[in-house]
């Protein structure tokens, strides 16, 4: 159980880092600018690329989708673990992002 909790902490940190890179880094600035220029700034895709919680949710879902098969889970175990992993990494990623914004 402790290793699963440590795994969630690490995956949460990964979620926070990926979310920060997509939403506010200079690396993705050209992508965000191009999408906003091509589409309206209030379009769903433009909003997705600039919203911490939106990107964090999708990244958490992707992490869960990749982590569950890697853990070898199937059936209801996979469903429950996937939901918990997605939620934990999403919330953890938001916490990591807020902590990083403090410095």
Q: What is the mean pLDDT of residues 55-67?
A: 82
Q: What is the mean pLDDT of residues 7-18?
A: 80
- % the chain with pLDDT above 70: 82
**pLDDT for res 23:** 87
**pLDDT for res 77:** 73
Phi, psi of 62 (to 5 degrees): -65, -45
SS3 27: coil
Where are the domains positioned within the chain? 2-102
Q: Is the pTM of this model over 0.75?
A: no
CA atoms within 13 A on the CB side of 1: 0
Q: What is the mean pLDDT of residues 74-96?
A: 73
**pLDDT for res 30:** 92
Q: What does the alpha-carbon distance between residue 88 and residue 25 come to, in Å, rounded to a whole number?
A: 23
DSSP letters spanning 70-83 = HHT--HHHHHHHHH
**pLDDT for res 1:** 53
- Do the beta carbons of residue 102 and residue 21 sit within 8 Å? no
The per-residue pLDDT for range 30-60, each reduced to its tens digit, is 988 888 888 877 788 888 888 887 888 888 8
- Residue in the block written with tokens 């853990």: 71
Contacts of 100 (CB under 8 A, 6+ apart): 16, 20
**pLDDT for res 97:** 67
């Amino acid at each position: 159980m402790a290793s699963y909790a440590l795994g969630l902490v690490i995956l949460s940190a990964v979620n926070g880092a990926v979310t920060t890179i997509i939403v506010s880094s200079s690396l993705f600035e050209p992508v965000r600018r191009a999408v906003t220029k091509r589409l309206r700034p209030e379009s769903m895709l433009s909003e997705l690329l600039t919203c911490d919680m939106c990107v964090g949710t999708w990244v958490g879902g992707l992490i869960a989708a990749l982590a569950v098969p890697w853990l070898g889970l199937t059936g209801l175990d996979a469903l429950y673990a996937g939901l918990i992993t997605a939620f934990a990494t999403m919330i953890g990623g938001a916490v990591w992002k807020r902590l990083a914004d403090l410095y």
